[in-house]
Homo-oligomer: A and B are copies of this chain.
Amino acid sequence: MASDVLMKKLTQAILEQTITKRANATHKGDYGRILIIGGTEQYGGAVIMNALAAVHSGAGLVTVATHPSNFTALHSHLPEAMVTDYTQDLTSFIRSADVILIGSGLGEQLTILTTTLSSVTPEQILILDGSALTLLAEHQLNLPDARVVLTPHQMEWQRLSRLEIAEQTPENNLTALATFPAQTILVLKKCHTQIYTENDSFELTIGGPYQATGGMGDTLAGMIAGFVGQFHVSLENAVLAAVYAHSAIADDLARERYVVLPTQISAELPKLMHRYAEKKTDKL
């Protein structure tokens, strides 16, 4: 299927442009208050992977709203994150967040999603992942007036866009995205992930099948949350940089591993980010 859309290929330039060296007189409040919502009893690992990625990417403060049965495992990985029961009222948590990531391992928790959608405000960034996307499609929910990022894989995008996977061409994807609120960013996860904005489209040319393992998407969603919370050059740039960094680390780890685990990617994040922040400094 030939395409008229010329997708921009992402290169490491996006990391150099986005990952800035931190200014000295800054504090954790400057690097994003992230609220992660998800993780049923069965899928608790998803929010652990979200949170590992967000904290390692440098998020200032991370709170995880999840099923209480997941608190201990989360803290075993990450005492740096705070927790709260997602069946309780989340309004005050949502209000004080800069970035809300909802959906990884959320299962059928529709009420939690609808409450979140009705609580976010225009200046907040809302990332919808995993089960949240399926619930959105099934219940034909409207996206709120906020800065929205959608991170579906191809089947979830089919549910959202009504485009069969075979029909998910750049043209069709852009047309479908236009039916969502303006400025919504679409991260379409596939063999080579694509990112669509209102006027532009981008293609990842790195990454590989060593990433084909459960939890890879949860880690990406957590990285996007971490990046958009601290890099304010533009929402688009922060998302693009997170997507690129995720596969760049995987490629690097795959030089000596048959499969790359999602948690290994998070562990490597601070070092990759350091390399690119320094590169930028060198150039200036």
Residues of A within 8 A of B (CB): 19, 22-28, 30-31, 41-46, 48-49, 52, 55-62, 68-84, 153, 190-191, 208-210, 212-216, 254, 256-263, 269-271, 273-274, 277
Given known pairs A72-B69, A213-B58, the reply for A208 and B24 (CB within 8 Å) is yes
A178 to chain B, nearest CB (A): 27
Q: Which residues of B contact A269 (CB under 8 A)?
A: 258
The answer to whether B212 touches A26 (Cβ under 8 A) is yes
Nearest CB on B from A103, distance (A): 15
Q: Find out whether the CB atom of A213 lies under 8 angstroms from the CB atom of B31.
A: yes
Contact B76 A263 (CB under 8 A): no
Distance in angstroms from A218 CB to nearest chain B CB is: 8
Give chain B nearest CB distance to A84 CB in angstroms: 5
Q: Is the CB of A73 within 8 A of B79?
A: yes
Closest 10 interchain pairs by CB? Answer: A45-B79, A258-B273, A73-B75, A22-B209, A58-B259, A257-B270, A48-B79, A76-B76, A80-B215, A258-B274
Helix, strand, loop or mixed for chain A's interface? Answer: mixed
Taking the closest CB of chain B, its distance from the CB of A83, in whole angstroms, is 6
Report the minimum CB–CB distance from A276 to chain B (whole Å).
8
Interface contact B70-A75, CB-CB below 8 Å: yes
B45 touches A75 (CB 8 A): yes
User: What are 30 A-to-B residue pairs whose CB atoms are below 8 Å?
Assistant: A19-B258, A22-B208, A23-B209, A24-B191, A24-B208, A25-B191, A26-B191, A26-B209, A27-B190, A27-B209, A30-B212, A44-B79, A44-B83, A45-B78, A45-B82, A49-B79, A55-B213, A55-B214, A58-B258, A68-B69, A71-B73, A72-B73, A73-B76, A73-B79, A75-B76, A80-B261, A82-B214, A258-B271, A259-B270, A260-B270
With contacts A257-B274, A258-B273 known, is A80 near B213, CB below 8 A? yes
A277 B258 Cβ-Cβ under 8 A: yes
- Whether A79 lies near B263 (C-beta < 8 A) is yes
Residues of B within 8 A of A60 (CB): 212-214
In angstroms, Cα B274 to Cα A257, docked, is: 5
Cα distance, A48 to B262, chains bound together (Å): 18
